[in-house]
Amino acid sequence: MDMDTRHPQDCPRSDHREVSGRVALFGGVYNNHIALSALLADAPSQASEIFCLGDVGAFGPHPDRSVEILREAGVPIVQGNYDRSVGLHRGDCACGYTDPRDNHFAALSYAYTFRNTSERNKDFLATLPEEIRLRGPKGERILLCHGSPRRQNEFLWESLSPDPFLARLLDDAQCDVLAVTHTGIPWKRRLPDGRFVVNAGAIGRPANDGQTHVWYAVLDLSGESPDAAFVPLRFDHERLVEEMRAERIVEPFVNTVESGWWTTCLEILPSRERARGMY
């Protein structure tokens, strides 16, 4: 597990790429190459730029397909804990689960992804940056990262992220807009001082809401202050189910794609998020 404290002040501001208008943000591909293709077809109608917040691999089929699609499309990618583990040939996904049963399922999907990712793609994942910094039209300092600015695999849940805590993370990371993923459930918050946090959710699996579609976020920088809209993304989930079964991926994962309810990795959920789900 990483607890690297990064020092954003080391990055000279002039290097930060400028963005304006609307920016599509997505994370947690989890090998769902079908949803990824759907996203790349949909997002250009919503936004002028697209960024991936990491975790290309996990419980879906054919990991190389998602990596190839992203490479070909030239989408800038922030490294997730999964990408780092696969890229650095680590023994586990470093997802940050603490329950033995959650870790059991996490280990199965990690072994599958690791085994089926080419060496070339592993090297590519290893070189991804841990954060991307952008500059908005009003000079907003925008930080894209995977879990939190201070830890790649920290879970930022809506019900466990009070305003003063988010303000501290933004202060420490020297940013005004923070975009993350890692938890798989989208949410956003405007802090009392106008700064903004968005969790883009995941396009790899449904958001534990009983729906088969997934979500991505569109960050809107055109207004008075930054905001985000969550876009439901439909994809051929039945084809994904077929591919998962053909690859002998364990049934609890397949069930989640079919039903929209999480069946594993539930113990890490805070009570509010857990209460909304079926299990």
Residues in the site for other proteins, rule: CB under 8 A? 1, 3, 97-101, 103, 157-162, 164-165, 167-169, 171, 267-268, 270-275, 279
What does the CA dihedral 236, 103, 186, 200 come to, rounded to 10 degrees? -80
**Helix/strand/coil for 72:** helix
Cβ proximity to other proteins, 230 vs 279, nearer residue: 279
Q: Taking the complex as a whole, how short is the minimal distance between the CB of residue 102 and other proteins, in angstroms?
A: 8
Q: How far is the CB of 79 from other proteins (least distance, A)?
A: 17
**Residue 248: how many CA atoms within 13 Å on its side-chain side?**
3
In angstroms, give the least distance from the CB of 157 to other proteins: 8
Based on CB atoms, which residue is closest to other proteins, 66 or 263?
A: 263
At 6, list the tokens. 């990064």
Q: At its nearest, how many Å lie between other proteins and the CB of residue 99?
A: 4
CB nearer to other proteins: pick between 76 and 96: 96
Residue in 118, 104, 148 with CA at minimum distance from that of residue 57: 118
Q: Is 270 exposed, middle or buried (0-12, 13-18, 19+ CB in 10 A)?
A: middle
Report the DSSP beta bridge partners of residue 22.
220
Q: How many CB atoms sit inside 10 A of residue 79's CB?
A: 24
What is the distance, to the nearest Å, from the Cα of residue 96 to the centroid of all Cα atoms in its chain?
14
Supply the minimum distance, in Å, between the C-beta of residue 143 and other proteins: 17
25 or 169: whose CB is closer to other proteins? Answer: 169
Residue closer to other proteins (CB basis): 32 or 208: 208
